[in-house]
Amino acid sequence: MKISTIFVADQAIVRGGVLRAARSLDMPASTVSDAIKRLEKTLSVQLFQQGAQGLTLTAEGTSIRPLLHEAAYAIRAIYAQCQDASERTIIESPISLAALFRFSDVMETGSIRKSARRLQIGQPQLTRMISATEKSLGGALFMRGRDGSTPSRLALRISPHVEKLRDIWTRLSTASESRFRRHLKFWSLGGVPPATPDSPSARILGHIIANWSSRFGSQIYLQPGLVNALFEGLELQRYDAILVDSPATSPRLKSRDIHRSSLSFFVRRTGAEISDWHDEQSLIRETLLNGHLVLPSRAAGLRQVAEEVLEHILGSNWLSQIRFTEVDSIPVSVDLVANHGYCSILPANLRISNDDVIAYPLADRFNLVLRLVWADNLRGQQMADHLQDILGSWSYGEE
């Protein structure tokens, strides 16, 4: 891993988010996001979580924040010893952690040949790593001679900071190994938050939790989250499987449909009856054009299906024809429909305590599908098999 990854991730923490770090470092937000993902995967830790106010540090991210900041400070100190170096140099001419630590090995032995033998790597490979480091730092680190490798002034100046970085990384890595060993003893299941206590996802998740320990003699942790965060967590191995209402598009993931729920168009009664229109679709169309629609954000599977409905009724330019509000909370959406005159597309089994609210059923092809998704690896398949064992014994049907 490049030391620029640590530096960029630390900037995201210090600046309070990906976009602010990207502006500060004058780089694309996707580059900052990728750096965070690489560091999270390497350390087996989630640094950020998506909340209502945007990205926030997780508890584990908060706990390792001081070490990451120390590491970033050591990286700055290394480059500060180099002529014409700046923070841009850290990003544009990054060094790998492995190469820096190999530099420390050569400093200890006083010889590239001895270090290569001790590390059990080829001498040409180690020489290339040192040369690449010298190129990034803009100066020679060793003078090669018959008696070994004599450190340059630059090498002597950066050596204490490299050792500091190496110590910090050892502490971070040790914590990572501990988290990974702990991960092996437990199973983690992510899931979209159920809309109501009696919703299909609530009953499915409840059935899994209730039967897991007696079947497999181990613990399982349920962690709710938004769809994007769940898929991200699955690929970073924070979850062993997830229950979501969106399709898995990555070739590294496998999935199985668990349940299908019907959807309805909910609107408060206005006095118009279906007989006043040619059919229900005409009434829905008129309501959409003259009313105010509330839906979840595009991260939600419900939104993705709802957009298919809207495109079917209003065409591909539906967004330009309606008044529209995004709310990532079904209870809030229900309140907006029941008490504030909004309309929405919601699971048909929702019970709204307002007799004036009418639910018009949508066609079966607009069903919302709950899927079990797991990583295409041994542990992911084991999790899928365990869940299949539990879910296979209980039928949920379609609603």
**pLDDT averaged over consecutive 10-residue blocks of the chain (399 residues)?**
90 88 90 89 77 70 88 91 74 86 89 82 87 89 82 92 90 65 71 84 91 87 84 80 88 89 88 55 88 88 91 92 90 92 91 86 91 87 90 57
Chain center to CA of 47:
10
Strand partners, 96: 2
* SS3 of residue 383 by DSSP: helix
For 382, list phi and psi in degrees, rounded to 5. -60, -45
% helix, strand, coil for the chain, step of 5: 55, 20, 25
Helix (H), strand (E) at residue 210: helix 200-216
Whole-Å CA distances, 232 to 79, 119, 183, 315: 33, 35, 17, 32
* SS3 of residue 295 by DSSP: strand
Whole-Å CA distances, 322 to 291, 334, 369: 8, 19, 26
Q: What is the dihedral of CA 18, 19, 25, 31, to 10 degrees?
A: 60
In the prediction, which pLDDT does 272 show?
54
In the prediction, which pLDDT does 54 show?
63
In contact, 346 and 266? CB cutoff 8 Å: yes
Q: How far apart are CA 176 and CA 44, in angstroms?
A: 6
Whole-Å CA distances, 343 to 76, 294, 380: 54, 6, 40
Cβ-proximal residues to 317 (8 Å cutoff; 6+ apart), any chain: none
In the prediction, which pLDDT does 85 show?
61
Cα-Cα end-to-end distance for the chain? 48
In the block, tokens 């200890």 appear at 108
Cβ-proximal residues to 395 (8 Å cutoff; 6+ apart), any chain: none
